[in-house]
Amino acid sequence: MVLTQVAMVAIMTMTPVHMRAHDFGMSAVGLVIGIHIGAMYLPSLATGILVDKVGRTPMAITAGVTLLLAGIVAALAPGDALGLLILALVLLGLGWNFGLIAGTALVVDATDPASRARTQGTIDVLIALAGAGGGAASGMVMAATDFSTLSLAGGILALLLIPVLLWARCSSRETSSL
């Protein structure tokens, strides 16, 4: 959940800056961000069903892949390609949604009811801090490089979900076999 938050916030935060640098007006910026926010939250009911039917880990991996695709589309989109920016930000919102819901289900599965609220609260704080860090870092990355580099970096960062998930699964198997 922390990795999906960093990737999403970093790219989302700098998209309006990138768009304004390519002479898009505020109405286009508002459209892209509005559609992105819709993609973050509207699929939640369907995502919950998918997480239950497909599985938590496969959906978390899907989050990483979707966020990578968002980063690639954003990085490769010409500066004046509104449709591709919308696609990139829809994928970004959808990947975040997959990651958040799959991650929350993994936390519920891995905790007992007595410690669940404390654990989830700690994770929520980490997610908030990660978002703040991602937003701040994205400005520094943009100042040093460009939107394409930032977008690719965010997508690649999201792929770290896969080894983290595999490590967590191996660790939980080793712990349960002891």
Domain, as residue range, for 151: 2-170
Report the domain count for the chain: 1
Q: Region of 166 please: left (phi>0), alpha (psi -120 to 50) or beta.
A: alpha
Chain centroid, CA 125 distance in Å: 16
Is 164 contained in some domain?
A: yes
pLDDT of residue 176: 60
Is 101 contained in some domain?
A: yes
Three-point CA angle 50, 56, 57, nearest 5°? 125
Torsion of Cα atoms, 3 then 28 then 30 then 87, to 10° = -30
- E-strand ranges in the chain read none
pLDDT of residue 160: 87
pLDDT of residue 174: 63
pTM score, two decimals? Answer: 0.92
Is 38 contained in some domain?
A: yes
Is 89 contained in some domain?
A: yes
For residue 156, count CB atoms less than 10 angstroms from its CB and return exposed for 0-12, middle for 13-18, buried for 19 or more.
middle
Is 175 contained in some domain?
A: no
Residue 177 to residues 68, 106, 128, 171, Cα–Cα distance (Å): 34, 19, 34, 10
CA–CA gap between residue 15 and residue 7 (Å, rounded): 12
Is 177 contained in some domain?
A: no
Q: What's the CATH number where 35 sits? A: 1.20.1250.20
Is 176 contained in some domain?
A: no
CA–CA gap between residue 126 and residue 3 (Å, rounded): 10
CA–CA gap between residue 5 and residue 27 (Å, rounded): 25
Is 178 contained in some domain?
A: no
Task: For residue 105, give the amino acid letter.
Answer: A
Residues of the chain with pLDDT under 50: none
State the residue for tokens 């939980």.
Answer: 172
